Amino acid sequence: MKFTTVSVLAVAAIASESHAFTPSHQTTSARSAVRLAMSTAEAETPTEDRKYTKKEKRLQYMKTDTFHRRGFKEVRENVENTMKEQFESVLVDELKTNDFVIKKDGVTVHLAKDFGFCWGVERSIALAYEAVEHFPGKTVHITNELIHNPEVNDKLHDMDVQFIEKVGEGQKDFSKVGDGDIVILPAFGASFEEMSLFNEKNVDIVDTTCPWVSKVWNTVDQHQRKGLTSVIHGKYAHEETVATVSFCEDYICVKDFKEAEMVADYIMNGGDKEAFLKYFEKAISEGFDPDTMLDKVGLANQTTMYKKETRAIGQMMQKAMMKKFGPVDAKDHYLEF
């Protein structure tokens, strides 16, 4: 059962007033403190005319006792050992200590200096493995592949994690998620709609979303607050971008520099609206109007895209706004993450 801050404080007020042996000056002080606390809580309580952003709602979900983002310490050592056995290698260690090069029997082996998982992926794997160990006997689901790595996903299958079935484009079958089950959100994150669904269910959520992905969500939230359309450098069907656009109001996805040029050209010169909407029909928000929604834009990206290309797209958008609105006013029409 969940209690609001106001209801808890109200109980505290009743308790302080009902004690027959409390000195009168202490009772007055307690009442004043409770009244102050209750007025503060009422100010923070959602009102009907207050529209909360998706970010604010997500943060509310994260504050519940059934939402887990920090892992489970009691099983951490076991999981660390499991990951060492699965991912570490004597050969790789030797390569790293020899400037990423080894020569043996006339053969030279080079290792990429960026070989291995990034910190966000390592964190995601650890959280998922910890969740399975922390909830023995529970049915554990995952909303998508944890990461794009067959070995990791096969390991989760071996651990009896149930991958939620996809049914058609962008649709999933959540009917098998039952009361008391565990749901893992992958490194790419989950959509706002999925989070809302699980918040209503009697399930525990283990959120392994990469913090860099969450940072992008904060960026598009800023776009929303400033009345900007989010231009997202990413593939519209990729799990991460699907999650990101779910936190947007108005958006358009561009997968590469060529598509970004199309958007920049429309900003500066307009064009065939029908053809533009047809081309981007799967990569835009509902009701998208390029004649009005491209006057003010903000840039965000899918974290797996090349940062160099994202920056080039940002410079292009900035130049388009300078050409259309002039160098002085351009800053009011473009925001970079």
Q: Kindly write down the DSSP assignment for every residue of 165-200, as one continuous string.
A: PB-STT-B--TT--TT-EEEE-TT---HHHHHHHHH
Tokens 């959120």 belong to 207
Query: Containing H/E element for 299?
Result: strand 297-301
**Phi/psi-derived region of residue 47, left when phi > 0, alpha when psi is between -120 and 50, beta in every other case:** beta
Tokens 């519209």 belong to 236
Which of 223, 313, 179 is closest to 259 using CA atoms? 313
3-state secondary structure of 67: strand
* Catalytic positions: 240
Which of 240, 147, 145 is closest to 189 using CA atoms? 240
CA distances from 260 to 231, 299, 314 (A): 9, 11, 9
Residue 265, both tokens:
């050209």
Cα–Cα–Cα angle for 81, 87, 93, nearest 5°? 100
Phi first, then psi, for residue 67 (nearest 5°) are: -110, 120
- d(CA 259, CA 262) in angstroms, rounded, equals 5
